[in-house]
């Protein structure tokens, strides 16, 4: 019997030592037993399709309106017919393990068809991680009324759904994921129609389903889909991905951290008393001129330099703006002015001889730091120490605190240029570190509002953006700019990625925004007509380029499963963005306001550091164990690592931190944090203590299949990994007894073979 002792806020103590025998059945892709002894009957006039199993008949689809039928054939194993007026051919084939339903348009122009009309007692929907939704639930009626419909490839994280009927379940595997919409009806009990569009620009005029009979069990339902992916060559394990990039192992047990720092020099690197009275006038005037002329909204920063001498002490906001002003001009090629910077420094001379226009961004920043130092002299520290307390010192403390595995992301690759030593140190510590990147939106040349929307090829804005069927350009993120067609972006992808890496920056990971969200489009532009399928193929091409050609561990936003064979991790499956549903979350006067994408210090933006309460409705929909199920993990635990959308980090919702920590262990999903020096110091104990449990657990189960899931009650869940690791999480306010073991409120029990551990997370 081994003993584990952890201090402070962490309780993770052995409570007993028993056999790790699994309960009930354990399902894996190797041993799932399909229900094959079923038959079907169909009425072609209204497409009323029924399945008969074990003496019980259930509707695959509720009846449609009656239509005229021709060419009807049915031999009991195969049925086919045509709806002449609608231009639709239907074929149904009884296979050994499933019923194959194919619906094909025989028209060359645009066409639509709605089938099936789905109803049942409960719905097992891959919304994010997964939801189990009763047909009469008022919370979900409200939710579906708000959203109206779900775009199939965007709103479903996996391409299937399950329906619990009275005696058994039906599982619908969607064989064509494109141009589908689920439209919900909540007038009485919840039901929905599956609507398919046959676009005129798409030659593939067919959609359909494999329909399986299963027990009313989330594990059974998920294994059917997992097997389908394996059978069709769409499933790739992390172990297989490791063989292509061994750095993927560094993700195992790694919390995900967005690290924020956009300033080149720290407050502690400046001798403010000296600077206050001795700032060179010519340098001050030159910096102010550059800020006013070259930096967007630079006037406030420029004005701060005039505030230096006005008060006896330099105010905090003045210090922040001077630091930010220096940080802006250090990144400008225009900073060097031979009339101001007269120096014999050999390092400076070396870079000047090379030519400022020939310097990469890291070289430019290094030169400009030394230029400023040559004027500010002992008013500032040696440039080698600039920003240490904000960057490398924090990273060193994280490592020394026991965080042996981390994925670290920058929201902007320039954060790496500012302090490349930070990137080098992360590599030395065995961490993954990389940058956020995006090819989602493109802004009008000269009017770019963020760096990823700026492209060197200025013809793209007019010639490579997406047009809808009405002939209108589709707007970019937040209604700014336009959507860039992925099939035309590859030259710009290669140009940007190579330009970043050619600086020598030591990134080993890359995060591609939105490519896994399913936010894809048919592009009706005559010059570059593109289908949704081709849109996704364009995204996959750039992911494969960054992964294979540049040897990066690649992640993406979303994680919808069409992207899974090509990425190692994703952000968004566990908790999608939903602020768009609540005006209070965008209202600066509300306690629920998420915060602005801004930081007064150059650290974590308020959107990510500001903690807010969560309205009960959203808590129920998105966090309640009453509805939440690990559907995605039952399919993909050993294939792709998933966590939250970056706006909803572990610490965001102030009253729900412990609940989310429970889910992080139960569902094996990495915590996600936004850190700078201040945030790290504030939450260090919480992060380190949780990591000691979560990281150790995750390393044990990351390459195991989740083999079993049970809802023991509305507030208690059990997940099993492989043959001998189980986790029981009690989300309730009461003690729960499981196999003669008492599980405390808001805690979990980890059964690891013969060892049993209790964990009570504390924020």
Per residue in 99-127, pLDDT (tens digit) is: 999 999 999 999 999 999 999 999 999 99
Give the residue among 519, 692, 508, 727 at the shortest CA–CA distance from 12.
692
Average pLDDT in the chain: 94
Give the residue among 363, 416, 373 at the shortest CA–CA distance from 392.
416
Residue 9 has pLDDT above 90, yes or no: no
pLDDT reported for residue 30: 53
- In the numeric block, which tokens belong to residue 32? 């799932």
How much of the chain exceeds pLDDT 90, in percent?
93
Per residue in 32-78, pLDDT (tens digit) is: 899 999 999 999 999 999 999 999 999 999 999 999 999 999 999 99
Separation CA 160–CA 220 (nearest Å): 13
**Banded pLDDT at 311 (limits 50, 70, 90):** confident
Residue 559 has pLDDT above 60, yes or no: yes
Q: How many Cβ atoms are within 10 Å of 745's Cβ, its own excluded?
A: 13
pLDDT reported for residue 345: 86
Residue 8 has pLDDT above 90, yes or no: no
- In the numeric block, which tokens belong to residue 298? 């630079």
Residue 351 has pLDDT above 90, yes or no: yes
- In the numeric block, which tokens belong to residue 746? 């808001």
pLDDT reported for residue 343: 78
* Residue 582 CA from chain centroid, whole number: 21
**Banded pLDDT at 23 (limits 50, 70, 90):** very low
Side-chain half-sphere CA neighbours of 694 within 13 A: 33
Separation CA 187–CA 375 (nearest Å): 73
Listed in order, strand segments (DSSP E) in 168-308 are 169-174, 180-185, 191-198, 206-214, 255-259
**Quick one: DSSP state of residue 546?**
I
Element housing 407 (H / E): strand 406-410
Separation CA 152–CA 621 (nearest Å): 19
Separation CA 430–CA 666 (nearest Å): 26
- In the numeric block, which tokens belong to residue 213? 């009979």
Mean pLDDT score, 656-676: 98
Per residue in 505-528, pLDDT (tens digit) is: 999 999 999 999 999 999 999 999
Separation CA 289–CA 292 (nearest Å): 5
Q: Which burial class, exposed, middle or buried, applies to 83 when counting CB atoms under 10 A from its CB (0-12, 13-18, 19+)?
A: buried
Q: Let me know: does 127 contact 155? Beta carbons within 8 Å.
A: yes
pLDDT reported for residue 66: 97
Separation CA 158–CA 177 (nearest Å): 9
Instruction: List Cα–Cα distances, 94 to 38, 143, 286, in angstroms.
Output: 9, 36, 79
- In the numeric block, which tokens belong to residue 290? 């550059």
Instruction: Please list, residue by residue across 237-255, b when 16 or more beta carbons sit within 10 angstroms of its beta carbon and e when fewer do.
Output: bbeebbeebebbbbbbbbb
Q: How many Cβ atoms are within 10 Å of 180's Cβ, its own excluded?
A: 21
- The residue written with tokens 């009979």 in the block is 213
Give 738's strand partners. Answer: 741
Mean pLDDT score, 444-454: 96
Tell me if the bond preceding 116 is cis, omega within 30° of 0.
yes
**Banded pLDDT at 7 (limits 50, 70, 90):** very low
Q: Is 305 helix (H, G, I), strand (E, B) or coil?
A: helix
Q: How many Cβ atoms are within 10 Å of 198's Cβ, its own excluded?
A: 23
**Banded pLDDT at 561 (limits 50, 70, 90):** very high
Per residue in 226-280, pLDDT (tens digit) is: 999 999 999 999 999 999 999 999 999 999 999 999 999 999 999 999 999 899 9
Compute the C-alpha angle 615/618/624, nearest 5°. Answer: 115
Compute the C-alpha angle 62/67/71, nearest 5°. Answer: 110
Mean pLDDT score, 571-589: 96
**Quick one: DSSP state of residue 167?**
S
Per residue in 385-442, pLDDT (tens digit) is: 999 999 999 999 999 999 999 999 999 999 999 999 999 999 999 999 999 999 999 9
Dihedral angle sign, alpha carbons of residues 562, 694, 430, 575: positive
Residue 220 has pLDDT above 60, yes or no: yes
pLDDT reported for residue 310: 87
Per residue in 603-651, pLDDT (tens digit) is: 999 999 999 999 999 999 999 999 999 999 999 999 999 999 999 999 9
Residue 558 has pLDDT above 90, yes or no: yes
Please provide the distance, in angstroms rounded to a whole number, between the alpha carbons at the two ends of the chain: 29
- In the numeric block, which tokens belong to residue 444? 């009008």
pLDDT reported for residue 28: 52
Residue 26 has pLDDT above 50, yes or no: no
Instruction: List Cα–Cα distances, 104 to 80, 95, 118, in angstroms.
Output: 11, 19, 20
Separation CA 625–CA 719 (nearest Å): 13
Q: Let me know: does 12 contact 756? Beta carbons within 8 Å.
A: no
Give the residue among 237, 227, 226 at the shortest CA–CA distance from 639.
237
Per residue in 131-160, pLDDT (tens digit) is: 999 999 999 999 999 998 999 999 999 999
Residue 27 has pLDDT above 80, yes or no: no
Q: Which ranges in 584-668 belong to alpha helices (H)?
A: 606-609, 616-623, 631-636, 657-666
**Quick one: DSSP state of residue 136?**
T
Mean pLDDT score, 691-719: 97
Mean pLDDT score, 89-94: 98
- In the numeric block, which tokens belong to residue 337? 């002015």
pLDDT reported for residue 344: 79
How much of the chain exceeds pLDDT 70, in percent?
96
């Amino acid at each position: 019997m081994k003993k584990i002792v952890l201090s402070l806020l962490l309780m993770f103590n052995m409570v007993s030592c028993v056999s790790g025998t699994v309960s009930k059945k354990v399902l894996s892709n190797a041993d799932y037993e399909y229900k094959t002894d079923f038959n079907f009957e169909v009425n072609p006039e209204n497409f009323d399709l029924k399945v008969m199993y074990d003496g019980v008949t259930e509707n695959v689809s509720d009846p449609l309106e009656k239509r005229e039928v021709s060419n009807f054939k049915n031999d009991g194993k195969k049925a086919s017919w045509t709806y002449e007026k609608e231009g639709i051919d239907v074929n149904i084939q009884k296979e050994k393990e499933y019923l194959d339903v194919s619906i094909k348009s025989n028209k060359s122009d645009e066409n639509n068809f709605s089938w099936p009309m789905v109803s049942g007692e409960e719905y097992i929907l891959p919304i994010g991680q997964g939801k189990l939704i009763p047909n009469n639930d008022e919370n979900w009626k409200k939710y579906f009324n708000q959203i109206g419909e779900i775009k199939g490839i965007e709103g479903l994280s996996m391409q299937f759904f399950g329906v619990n009927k009275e005696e058994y379940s039906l599982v619908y595997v969607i064989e064509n994921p494109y141009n589908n919409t689920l439209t919900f009806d909540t007038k009485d009990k919840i039901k929905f129609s599956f609507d398919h569009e046959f676009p005129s620009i798409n030659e593939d005029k067919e959609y359909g389903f494999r329909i399986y009979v299963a027990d009313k069990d989330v594990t059974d339902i998920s294994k059917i889909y997992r097997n389908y992916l394996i059978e069709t060559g769409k499933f790739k394990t992390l172990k297989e991905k490791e063989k292509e990039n061994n750095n993927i192992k560094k993700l195992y047990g790694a919390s995900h951290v967005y690290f924020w720092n956009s300033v080149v020099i720290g407050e502690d690197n400046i001798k403010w008393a000296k600077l206050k009275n001795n700032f060179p006038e010519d340098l001050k005037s030159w910096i102010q001129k550059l800020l006013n002329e070259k930096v967007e909204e630079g006037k406030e920063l420029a004005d701060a330099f005039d505030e230096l001498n006005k008060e006896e002490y330099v105010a905090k906001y003045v210090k922040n703006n001077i630091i930010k002003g220096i940080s802006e001009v250090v990144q400008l090629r225009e900073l060097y002015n031979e009339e101001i910077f007269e120096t014999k420094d050999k390092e400076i001379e070396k870079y000047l001889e090379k030519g400022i226009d020939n310097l990469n961004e890291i070289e430019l920043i290094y030169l400009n730091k030394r230029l400023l130092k040559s004027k500010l002299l002992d008013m500032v520290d040696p440039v080698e120490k600039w920003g240490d307390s904000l960057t490398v010192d924090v990273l060193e403390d994280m490592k020394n605190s026991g965080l042996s595995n981390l994925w670290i992301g920058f929201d902007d690759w320039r954060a790496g240029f500012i302090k490349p030593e930070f990137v080098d140190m992360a590599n030395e510590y065995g961490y993954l570190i990389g940058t956020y990147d995006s090819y989602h939106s493109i802004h009008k040349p000269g009017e770019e509002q963020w760096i990823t929307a700026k492209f060197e090829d200025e013809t793209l804005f007019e010639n490579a953006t997406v047009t809808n069927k009405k002939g209108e350009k589709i707007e970019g993120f937040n209604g700014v700019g336009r959507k860039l067609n992925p099939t035309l972006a590859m030259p710009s992808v290669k140009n940007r990625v190579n330009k970043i890496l050619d600086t020598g920056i030591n990134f080993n990971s890359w995060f591609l925004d939105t490519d896994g969200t399913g936010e894809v489009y048919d592009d009706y532009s005559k010059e570059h007509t593109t289908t949704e399928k081709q849109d996704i193929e364009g995204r996959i091409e750039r992911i494969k380029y960054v992964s294979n050609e540049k040897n990066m561990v690649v992640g993406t936003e979303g994680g919808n499963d069409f992207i899974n064979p090509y990425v190692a991790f994703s952000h968004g499956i566990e908790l999608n963005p939903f602020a768009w549903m609540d005006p209070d979350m965008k209202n600066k006067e509300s306690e629920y306001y998420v915060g602005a994408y801004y930081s007064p210090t150059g650290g974590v933006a308020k959107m990510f550091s500001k903690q807010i309460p969560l309205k009960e409705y959203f808590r129920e929909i998105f966090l309640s164990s009453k509805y939440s199920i690990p559907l995605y993990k039952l399919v993909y635990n050993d294939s792709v690592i998933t966590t939250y959308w970056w706006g909803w980090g572990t610490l965001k919702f102030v009253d729900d931190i412990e609940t989310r920590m429970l889910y992080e262990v139960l569902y094996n999903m990495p915590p996600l944090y936004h850190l700078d020096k201040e945030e790290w110091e504030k939450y260090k104990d919480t992060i380190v203590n949780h990591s000691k449990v979560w990281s150790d657990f995750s390393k044990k189960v990351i390459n195991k299949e989740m083999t079993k899931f049970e809802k023991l009650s509305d507030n208690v869940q059990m997940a099993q990994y492989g043959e001998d690791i189980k986790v029981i999480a009690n989300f309730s306010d009461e003690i729960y007894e499981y196999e003669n073991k008492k599980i405390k409120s808001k805690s979990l029990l980890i059964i690891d073979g013969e060892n049993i551990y209790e964990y009570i997370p504390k924020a």
